[in-house]
Amino acid sequence: MEAVPVSVVAGILDTIRNRVLNFVLDIESENPKAGEAIVSEHPVPPEKVEQIFHTHIYGNVGNVAAGSHAFFQNASINVLQNDFKSLAEFVRSIGGADEDCNELQKAIQADGQPTGKSFGKKVAGWLGGMVTKAAQGMLKVSEDVAAKVISEKLKQYYGV
């Protein structure tokens, strides 16, 4: 079992709170009396609510099939075992900077090969920092996606 740093959980909760707040504020800007409406009324058209919801709750999405149903899209970058170049390419693909790649490389060198199912202390700290960046909108992925996808790519790199 892999431990989740407190900073990751705090970042996720902060992002959830901010997205819900922005969603509510946008609904209110559409109709200031929306919160006082009777349950059976639609003070804001459902189509507009859906648009606002997708903007705030899903967040930064690179490709969207607007108005589509039963649509799935998948893209991936393969990270090869012990090939830092492919790992750095992945980090850049999600909006990471060269400095993020340099910090990761130093963390990997400092920690060495992970023992068990957990990353080393420096790599785990780097991962927490990237999730925080995602929560702040500094990456092309949301914080929950960042935590999962970056962890998976690190596992591919380590071959675990």
Residues 106-146: tens digit of each pLDDT: 999 999 888 777 889 999 999 999 999 988 888 888 887 88
Least confident of 1-15, 17-31, 135-149: 1-15
Predicted confidence band at 64 (pLDDT cuts at 50, 70, 90)? Answer: very low
To the nearest whole number, what is the mean pLDDT of the chain?
Answer: 80
2 vs 28 pLDDT, higher one:
28
Cα separation, 108 vs 86, whole angstroms: 14
Predicted pLDDT of residue 62: 47
The pTM of the whole model exceeds 0.75: no
Least confident of 70-74, 121-125, 156-160: 70-74
Q: Does position 153 have pLDDT exceeding 80, yes or no? A: yes
Give the number of other Cβ atoms within 10 Å of residue 106's Cβ.
13
Predicted pLDDT of residue 57: 60
**Angle of the 84-93 helix axis to the 98-111 helix axis, nearest 10:** 140
Predicted pLDDT of residue 101: 95
pLDDT, tens digit, for every residue of 73-100?
555 568 889 999 999 999 998 889 999 9
Taking the mean position of all CA atoms in its chain, how far away is CA 13? 12
Least confident of 24-33, 52-61, 103-112: 52-61
Q: Looking at residues 22-26, what average pLDDT do you find?
A: 79
- What is the separation, in whole angstroms, between the first and last Cα of the chain? 13
